[in-house]
Each structure stands twice: as C-alpha cells, then as structure tokens.
Amino acid sequence: MVLQRSVFRDESLLFPEYLPHQIPHRDAQLRALELYFQSVVQNASKASQNAMICGPVGSGKTLLAKKLGESLQKKAALYGNLVKMLHINCRIDKTLQAVMVKALASLGQSFPSRGYSFEELLSVLVEELRSNRMHMIITFDEVDSLIVSDPSALYTITRLRETEQGSQVFSSLLISKTLDYMKAVDLSTISSVQRNVVTLDPYSSPQLLDIIASRGEAFVDGAFAESAMQLAADIASIYGDARYALDLVYGAGKQADILESPKILPDHVRAARAWLPPQFKKEELRYLSRHQRLILMAVSNLLKKGDSTRVTIGEVEKSYGVLCESAGIGPNHHTQVWNDVSELSRKGIIETELSGKGMRGRTTLIGLSIVSAKELVMELEKEMVADARS
Ligand SMILES: Nc1ncnc2c1ncn2[C@@H]1O[C@H](COP(=O)(O)OP(=O)(O)OP(=O)(O)O)[C@@H](O)[C@H]1O
Ligand SMILES: [Mg+2]
C-alpha cells in the first residue's frame, strides 16, 4: 500500500479548539488584561475585578480569554492563591441560573438545570469557593445574549463582588462584539464595567499573514507557497477575521491533497474560498447600528427592484434619506454614510468598487456580497420590528 502524501504535518493545529502558544498581535492586549487582574492574582480573597473584551468576529476575543485564564492561574499559584477561570458561552447558557449550574459543575457539584433559583445556587457556590479558598473568574463570552434575555444580569454580575466584604470569591470578564447591548443597562453599571475595556481591531492582511505563519508547524516544511499564504491573508483581511483565515488555509491544504499537489498554491486558496463563503450569520445584523441597517435596507431595496447587481452610492444615499424620513429620524451626513458603507463592506456584507470612467466621473458602486437582496430585506424588517418594540 502506498501511503497518501499530504501537505499537512499536523492539521489539528488549525482546528478551532487548538490553543496556540503564540498569539501574534495580541500580546499587548493580553498584558493589559493581566494587569487588570493583577490585584486578584496577588490578593485573591481581598480583590475583585470586572473587565471586558470587545471586538469583531474572529478578532481573538475567546482566544485572549483562554490565554488569560492560563496565565492568571499560573501567576496566582506563585502567590499561593487559587484562581480558577471558568469560560461560559452565554449563547448556550442564557441565564444566570444556568451559569451558576455550570460553575458548580466545574467544582464537581452537580445540580439539575431546573429547580433551584439563582440565589440558592449562588449561595452554595459562594460557600464552596470559600471552603476551597478559591477565587473564580467567570468569562461571560457573547454576554449580549445573556443581557438580551435578562437586562438586569449585568448589574448582578458586577455586584457579585460586593456580596461579602473581605472575602472576595468572584471576578468577571465580559466578551462581546460591540457595546450596543449596553444601551439597555443603567449608567452606574456601565461606568463600573467600562473602566477596564480592551478593544480589538479587525486584523490587517500583514497581521493575518503572521497568524497563518505562526501555525506553520501544521504543514510539511516548504509545502505552503508564500504566494498562497499571502493570498489567504489578503482574502481574510476583507473581514479582518483570523478564524476565516485559518479555515481558508485548512481548506486550501485539503484541496492540495485532493489534487495530489505536494505544495499549497494560490489556486488551492481560491478553490477553498469558493467552498467556504464566510458564513453570513443573521445575528450579525443585530450588531449593526440603526443607520447601518437603514443603509443596508436601501441597498437591498434598490437591488431587489432593479436588475442590476450594483447601485451607486448616490442612489443609496437618496433612498436611505427616504427611509430615515419614514422612520422619523434625521439622516446622517455624507461622511458618516460613507463611513458606514465602509464598515458594512469591511464586514463583508456589501461589496464596494469604483465605477469605470463612463458614468460621469467616478463613483462608488455597491453590491451585496453573500446574501440575496430579498433575504436581507426580510431579515432587516424583522430586526427593525424588534428595534421598534425595544
Ligand atoms: N492573534 C492570534 N494568533 C493566533 N491565532 C489567532 C489569533 N487571533 C485569533 N486566532 C485564532 O482565530 C480563531 C478565531 O479566534 P477567536 O475564537 O478568539 O475569535 P473571536 O473574536 O472570539 O470571534 P467570535 O466573535 O466569532 O466569537 C481561533 O482559532 C483563534 O485561535
Ligand atoms: Mg468568540
């Protein structure tokens, strides 16, 4: 039997659950987070902290939280303290009561998912932490899901620290894509959380190239053509999304293997891109501002009506103005509209390009990247109804 040759040495280095040793372009942010929690590490029973990470899809939020957990646990041990970091995905555990059940389970205490109130579970957990002399830092990943279903949850989270003076057992790390969900939260709660925010920018192409290169061990030496790596970074930089970059690279490697190529070439990256359109997640619409949604609505309406695949920014602005008027809000100025259009394009929801010279000077043309106009209008209408209710 002839062994199938592969460009991969260890493809698991590209899997989403893999926790990399190096995190290019996020070291400073990790340090900032470590400093926020320094007092907890040193003085686990007297200090408590709330911090927050905010950044777009694939910008390394969850990764940073996990690296922070590793480092804080180690550092605390040096001071003779026991700190445990618990990662909760609030899209799955949508209530504080569910979070408590998870926290207890992580300490080997099993409680049914129903039947006990949040307060009951909290008091058992506090007792348990105290008797173990343990300080628990709970990461509330995708925390907006929790706040949407329970607007007072943020208040409760930030006040956990005040339940017992002198014997602190809780800290929290909140993660979300934007701070929009904060609108529903009262000001004093916001100010107590916003002091310690680490904001992540989308990755640029050179940064994504470094991230891809840092997983080089996944491939056989020399099997990844530099031009192919560069192309993957360039494509993923449209979204600034490291997850997409790694997915593309993985897909390109599989494509090379299928074609029995000893090397990953740019064409394999292109093929992977065609298989792997970045998932249009309907919930992404929730993270857009109201004006961005109106602009998107204007683009979708115009495209749905006409038979063209592109509309000019002038047409979009006009139609956006009309939508603003019927919604009873003042339209933004041209520069802000332009910023919003760029943001939508960066998120990969729309595509922009400059027109050829034919159209009375040059203008920006806008099209939809990944979804049909009809589908988008339907989703936006749903979101707007939800907006009007809130
Ligand atoms: N700086 C980096 N260095 C190495 N790998 C990275 C870096 N940033 C992100 N990644 C990798 O990219 C993928 C996505 O990162 P992560 O899950 O942290 O994104 P996120 O910001 O939490 O995205 P989402 O909002 O979709 O949850 C993961 O596989 C992660 O390991
Ligand atoms: Mg995440």
Ligand 1 atom with the smallest distance to the CA of 214 is 4
Both 187 and 49 in one domain: the answer is: yes
Q: Residue 229 CB: number of other CB atoms within 10 A?
A: 22
CA of 238 to the centre of ligand 1 (A): 16
The CATH number of residue 125's host domain is: 3.40.50.300
- What pTM does this model have? 0.77
Residues 48 and 138 in one domain: yes
* Structural domain includes residue 286: yes
CB of 16 shorter than 6 A to ligand 1: yes
Q: Does residue 77 lie within any of the structural domains? A: yes
Contact 350, 369 (CB under 8 A): yes
Pairing of strands 170-176, 50-54: parallel
Alpha helices (H) along 178-238: 187-194, 205-213, 226-237
Confidence bin at 1 (pLDDT 50/70/90): low
Token pair 């969850």 is at which residue?
A: 62
- The mean per-residue pLDDT over the stretch 233-244 comes to 90
286 and 340 in a single domain? The answer is yes
Q: Which of 154, 175, 199 is the last residue of a domain?
A: 199
Instruction: Please report whether residue 385 resides in a domain.
Output: yes
User: According to the model, what pLDDT value does residue 171 have?
Assistant: 94
pLDDT digits (tens, 9 = 90+) for 296-341: 999 988 988 877 788 999 999 999 999 999 989 999 999 889 989 9
What is the predicted pLDDT for the residue at 75?
A: 97
Confidence of residue 216 (pLDDT cuts 50, 70, 90): very high
| Paired tokens of 137 | 């830092």
Residues in CB range of 155: below 8 A, 6 or more apart: 185, 186, 189
Write the pLDDT tens digit of every residue in 344-383. 887 778 888 887 765 556 788 998 866 666 777 777 777 6
Q: What is the pLDDT of residue 147?
A: 87
Q: What is the mean predicted confidence (pLDDT) over 264-270?
A: 95
Residue holding tokens 């925390």? 143
* Shared-domain flag, residues 271 and 152: no
Which has more pLDDT, 200 or 178? 200
Q: Does 115 sit in the ligand 1 pocket, CB within 6 Å?
A: no
Tens-place pLDDT, residues 67-89: 999 999 999 999 999 999 999 99
Q: Determine if ligand 1 sits within 6 Å of the CB of residue 29.
A: no
User: Which residue range is the domain that position 187 belongs to?
Assistant: 27-199
Answer whether residue 2 is part of any domain. Answer: no
Give yes or no for residue 55 CB within 6 A of ligand 1.
yes
CA of 286 to the centre of ligand 2 (A): 16
Atom 16 of ligand 1: nearest residue by CA position: 60
Higher pLDDT, 191 or 293: 293
Residue 41: CB within 6 Å of ligand 1? no
Tell me the residues surrounding ligand 2 (ion) with CB < 5 Å: 61-62
Is the CB–ligand 1 distance for residue 248 below 6 Å? Answer: no
* Distance from C-alpha of 121 to C-alpha of 363, rounded to nearest angstrom: 60
Residue with CA closest to ligand 1 atom 13: 243
24 lines ligand 1 (CB under 6 A): yes
pLDDT tens digit sequence for 49-59: 999 999 988 99
**Residue 9 located in a structural domain:** no
Residue 380: predicted pLDDT = 78
On whether both 231 and 163 belong to a single domain, the answer is: no
Q: What is the pLDDT of residue 242?
A: 95
Q: Look at residues 180, 184, 366 and name the one whose alpha carbon lies nearest to residue 284.
A: 180
- Of the candidates 69, 58, 54, 19, the residue with the CA atom closest to the CA atom of residue 175: 54
Domain final residue pick, 199, 215, 234? 199
Specify the residue with its C-alpha closest to ligand 1, atom 15: 60
pLDDT at 163 > cutoff 70? no
Same domain, 325 and 251: no
Q: What is the pLDDT of residue 279?
A: 56
Answer yes or no: is the C-beta of 306 below 6 A from any ligand 1 atom. no
Q: Which atom of ligand 1 lies nearest, measured to the CA of 177?
A: 25
**303 and 175 share a domain?**
no
Segment 139-145 shows an average pLDDT of: 92
- The answer to whether 46 and 83 are in contact (CB under 8 A) is no
Residue 388: what pLDDT?
58
Of all ligands present, the nearest one to the C-alpha of 87 is 2
216: alpha, beta or left, given left = phi > 0 and alpha = psi -120 to 50? Answer: alpha
Same domain, 185 and 39: yes
Whether 334 maps to a domain, the answer reads yes
- In this model, does residue 166 exceed pLDDT 80? no
Whether 348 lines ligand 1, by a CB cut-off of 6 Å, is no
Burial (0-12, 13-18, 19+ Cβ within 10 Å), 266: middle
- The alpha carbon of 232 and the centre of ligand 1 are apart by a number of angstroms equal to 16
What is the CATH number for 216?
A: 1.10.8.60
Please indicate, yes or no, whether residues 140 and 263 belong to a single structural domain of this protein. Answer: no
Please indicate, yes or no, if residue 17 is contained in any of the structural domains: no
pLDDT reading at 266 higher than 60: yes
Please tell me if the CB atom of residue 65 comes closer than 6 angstroms to any atom of ligand 1.
no
Q: From CA 34, how far away is CA 48, in angstroms rounded?
A: 13
Name the domain count of the chain.
3
Please state, rounded to an integer, the average pLDDT across all residues of the chain. 88
Last residue of a domain, one of 258, 275, 292: 275
In this structure, are 210 and 162 located in the same domain?
no
Lowest mean pLDDT across 18-22, 35-39, 84-88, 377-381:
377-381
The pLDDT, as a whole number, for residue 63 is 98
Task: Indicate which CATH number applies to the domain containing 345.
Answer: 1.10.10.10
Phi first, then psi: give them for residue 312, nearest 5 degrees. Answer: -85, 155
What share of the chain in percent tops pLDDT 90? Answer: 60
Same domain for 37 and 124, yes or no, is yes
The strand ranges marked E within 267-341 are 311-312
- Considering the domain architecture, whether residues 306 and 227 belong to the same structural domain is answered as no
Residue with tokens 């993270």: 287
* DSSP code at position 3: P
Residue 19 belongs to some domain of the structure: no
User: Backbone phi, then psi, for 259, in 5-degree steps?
Assistant: -85, 5
Q: Are 157 and 172 in contact (CB under 8 A)?
A: yes
How many contiguous H segments (helices) and E segments (strands) does the chain have?
A: 16, 8
